[in-house]
Amino acid sequence: MIRPGLTLALWSAIALLVVLNNVVGDTWIAATLSVRAVEWYKVLVPLPYVVLMAAIHARRTAGPRWFEAAFLAALLWPTSTMLVDFLYIRLTYDSDPASFLDRLGFWWGAPYPLLVLGLFAAPLLAGRALARAPDG
């Protein structure tokens, strides 16, 4: 069953965690680690939480239309989380869009695409893992 309200609520929890994690990374962690280490911190800390939210989503939307629900989350979570992350950087540091897009530069070792990929893949993989056969 598709539950847009559940998808939105879980995304809100993910977005809040990502922003709070970025605040901690930019203030407390950045004082002691290198820039690259802080970027890895900002990506690796939210990933288990994303997997947990995806498992909750998959469990609540299991059934014959699990794929539609998982695909909805897989499309909305990465896009909207990137938007919230961009707004955080823009409002906090007055950063331009080009510097935010530099975070997606996997060719120079930026870890941010891993978070985006995790946000996309987690609902699909969790939905597939918990998919139930239709009754009947």
| Residues in Cβ contact with 127 at an 8 Å cutoff, skipping those fewer than 6 apart | 54, 57, 58, 61, 62, 66, 67, 69, 70
pTM: 0.89
Instruction: Give me the residue spans of the domains in the chain.
Output: 8-129
- pLDDT tens, N- to C-terminus, the chain (136 residues): 778 888 889 999 999 999 999 999 999 999 999 988 999 999 999 999 999 999 999 999 988 889 999 999 999 999 999 999 999 999 999 999 998 888 888 777 789 999 999 999 999 999 999 985 454 3
Which residue from 130, 114, 117, 136 is spatially nearest to 66, judged by alpha carbons?
130
Residue whose structure tokens are 């695909």 = 71
User: Do 61 and 128 form a contact (C-beta atoms < 8 A)?
Assistant: no
Q: DSSP class of residue 63?
A: S
Angle separating helix axes 4-24 and 46-60, nearest 10 degrees: 170
